[in-house]
């Protein structure tokens, strides 16, 4: 039997690493498969310190390979952060190691799975004659929007006036009547010259060059959009939710998979044990978003006024210290970084106030926990609209950060319309679990990906 050696290269950010590491683990479990996972040295250090991925994966044919970072250790930051500069600097530092690995005849690479925003990996692999699959770590609906940006420009729906954000989109195939201008990825608000928009559009348009596209989603959740993507990228693998998939496929390995780049504070699980069922709203805005002091005050006031207990993640690097009123709040608990999957699975958690990053959204879907969405940037604007308007499993605050709205939406999700949201979220969670067991769509697609990689390897 062939023994495929796969090189996986994620963009060095928590959300990208999390889902691509989970895919790596699933692939390593396929007989004969080996994975080399490429990360900059500073990410390697943080993963080794804070996640159990390295010890967990030690039992599998997996190698976490650090590439020199030459002092470039920048995490993605919204606002003044320049995604093009970030990708350019990654390309500069990664390229020598990447080329060396691709040329290594002693331990040849049979196939590359590249993050779909790293076209320099695609180019290097093409040059070396190694087949490449792309993986995007966002939702299918957000991917489709990025893919349609040239059409929106051509039909002059982009750029638009920032005081007409409520107008519905008319040229976005499949999403007419669903998305408004305000629901487009945040880069669309900054005009056609925006470097982030040009960069992400360019990266997305390279996708058809890859052998196929892997998405961390499942058919039941995004069927109409997946059908549209298949018209342009026929070889699509929907293998998510990956964290649930991992639990069903790798039952022999303990389930406490952590891919965190920060130290997890597990004491909050004990605190949750003491709270009544469905009584706590979990608050986290992921690994990138920075919340200003004013915004934090509005959230705190809204939460207190809602009368709900809360568990709030305030990252140590999220800009500022924890205000004493939050730290001392009798109804709440604050941590620097939580074991999020376990928190969402805890029976005490009845709602999730989230920025709607795709991993967080999927984790909430799998746990059947309704959401209050406060999208910040990138694909989050699209995801939050789908959570509210299409899937009906939460409320979307969109551009509003106001204590009255926070209170109203938290009450809606946890109390007034709580039964309705929980029922729909429960149905979606069931569909998610069904997709990752034998016979499910994601289970079959992962098998197909494994088969296709093996066939490619045999053909070399």
For the bound state, the minimum distance from the C-beta of residue 186 to ligand UDP, rounded and expressed in Å, comes to 12
> Any contact of residue 14 with ligand UDP (CB under 6 A)?
yes
Distance CA 273, CA 209 (A): 49
- Please, which residue, 221 or 288, has the CB nearer to ligand UDP? 288
- Please, which residue, 30 or 204, has the CB nearer to ligand UDP? 204
> Any contact of residue 216 with ligand UDP (CB under 6 A)?
no
Residue of the chain from 102, 178, 338, 371 that contacts ligand UDP (CB under 6 A) = 338
- Please, which residue, 134 or 285, has the CB nearer to ligand UDP? 285
Residue of the chain from 216, 260, 383, 441 that contacts ligand UDP (CB under 6 A) = 260
State how far the alpha carbon of 77 is from the alpha carbons of 288, 395, 418, in Å: 6, 25, 34
Q: Give the DSSP per-residue string, 311-379.
A: EEE--TTSSSPPPHHHHT-TTEEEESS--HHHHHHSTTEEEEEE---HHHHHHHHHHT--EEE---STT
- Strand order from edge to edge, sheet including 349-354: 332-335, 309-313, 280-284, 349-354, 371-373, 394-396
Nearest alpha-carbon partner for 236 in 203, 209, 207, 214: 214
Q: Return the residue matching tokens 């990996």.
A: 121
Nearest alpha-carbon partner for 449 in 33, 10, 9: 33
With CB under 6 A, what is the number of residues at the site for ligand UDP?
A: 18
- Which of these segments, 12-20, 269-277, 428-436, 441-449, binds ligand UDP (CB under 6 A)? 12-20
Contacts of 97 (CB under 8 A, 6+ apart): 38, 65, 67, 68
Residues taking part in catalysis: 16, 115
Distance CA 65, CA 57 (A): 13
Name the pairing type of β-strands 111-115 and 132-136.
parallel
> Any contact of residue 358 with ligand UDP (CB under 6 A)?
yes
In the stretch 382-401, what mask flags binding to ligand UDP with x, by CB under 6 A?
--------------------
> Any contact of residue 364 with ligand UDP (CB under 6 A)?
no
> Any contact of residue 18 with ligand UDP (CB under 6 A)?
yes
- Which of these segments, 43-51, 148-156, 295-303, 356-364, binds ligand UDP (CB under 6 A)? 356-364
- Residues numbered 314 to 333 that lie near ligand UDP (CB under 6 A) are none
In the stretch 274-293, what mask flags binding to ligand UDP with x, by CB under 6 A?
----------x-xxx-----
The SS3 assignment for 49 reads helix
Distance CA 69, CA 151 (A): 37
Residue of the chain from 357, 370, 375, 392 that contacts ligand UDP (CB under 6 A) = 357
Query: Would you report the helix, strand and coil content of the chain in percent, each value rounded to 5?
Result: 50, 15, 40
Q: Return the residue matching tokens 């969670």.
A: 429
- Please, which residue, 244 or 288, has the CB nearer to ligand UDP? 288
- Please, which residue, 132 or 187, has the CB nearer to ligand UDP? 187
> Any contact of residue 310 with ligand UDP (CB under 6 A)?
no
For the bound state, the minimum distance from the C-beta of residue 415 to ligand UDP, rounded and expressed in Å, comes to 25
Which residues of the shown chain bind ligand UDP in the complex (CB under 6 A)? 14-15, 18, 260, 284, 286-288, 313, 337-338, 340-341, 357-360, 363
């Amino acid at each position: 039997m062939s023994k495929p050696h796969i090189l996986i290269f994620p963009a060095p950010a928590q959300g990208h690493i999390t889902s691509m590491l989970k895919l790596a683990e699933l692939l390593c479990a396929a007989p004969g498969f080996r994975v080399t996972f490429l990360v900059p040295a500073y990410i390697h250090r943080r993963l080794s310190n804070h996640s159990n991925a390295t010890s967990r994966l030690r039992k599998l044919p997996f190698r976490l390979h650090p590439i020199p970072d030459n002092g470039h250790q920048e995490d993605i930051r919204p606002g003044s952060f320049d995604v093009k500069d970030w990708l350019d600097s990654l390309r500069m530092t990664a390229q020598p190691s990447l080329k060396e690995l691709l040329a290594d005849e002693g331990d040849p690479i049979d196939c590359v799975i590249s993050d779909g925003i790293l076209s320099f990996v695609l180019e290097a692999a093409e040059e070396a004659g190694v087949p490449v699959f792309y993986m995007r770590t966002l939702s299918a609906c957000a991917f489709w929007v990025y893919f349609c940006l040239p059409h929106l420009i051509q039909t002059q729906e982009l750029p638009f006036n920032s005081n007409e954000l409520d107008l519905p989109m008319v040229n976005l195939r499949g999403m007419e009547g669903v998305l408004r201008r305000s629901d487009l990825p945040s880069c669309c608000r900054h005009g056609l010259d925006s470097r982030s928009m040009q960069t992400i559009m360019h990266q997305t348009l390279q996708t058809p060059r890859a052998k196929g596209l892997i998405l961390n989603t499942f058919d039941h959740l995004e069927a109409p959009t997946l059908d549209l993507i298949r018209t342009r990228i026929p070889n699509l693998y929907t293998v998510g939710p990956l964290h649930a998939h991992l639990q069903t496929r790798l039952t022999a390995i303990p389930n406490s998979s952590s891919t965190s780049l920060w130290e997890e504070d597990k004491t909050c699980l004990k605190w949750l044990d003491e709270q009544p069922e469905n009584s706590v709203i979990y608050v986290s805005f992921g690994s990138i978003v920075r919340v200003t002091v004013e915004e934090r005050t509005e959230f705190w006031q809204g939460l207190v006024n809602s009368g709900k207990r809360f568990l709030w993640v305030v990252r140590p690097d999220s800009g500022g210290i924890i205000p004493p009123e939050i730290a001392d709040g009798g109804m709440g608990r604050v941590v620097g970084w939580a074991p999020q999957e376990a928190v969402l699975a805890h029976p005490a958690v009845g709602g999730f106030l989230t920025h709607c990053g795709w991993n967080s959204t999927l984790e909430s879907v799998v746990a059947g926990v309704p959401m209050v969405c406060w999208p910040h940037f990138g694909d989050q604007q699209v995801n939050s609209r789908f959570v509210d308007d299409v899937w009906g499993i939460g409320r979307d605050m969109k551009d509003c950060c106001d204590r009255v709205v926070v209170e109203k939406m938290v009450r809606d999700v946890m109390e007034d319309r709580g039964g309705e949201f929980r029922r729909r979220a429960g149905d979606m969670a069931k569909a998610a679990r069904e997709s990752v067991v034998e016979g499910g769509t994601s289970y079959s697609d992962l098998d197909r990906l494994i088969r296709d990689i093996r066939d490619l390897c045999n053909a070399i």
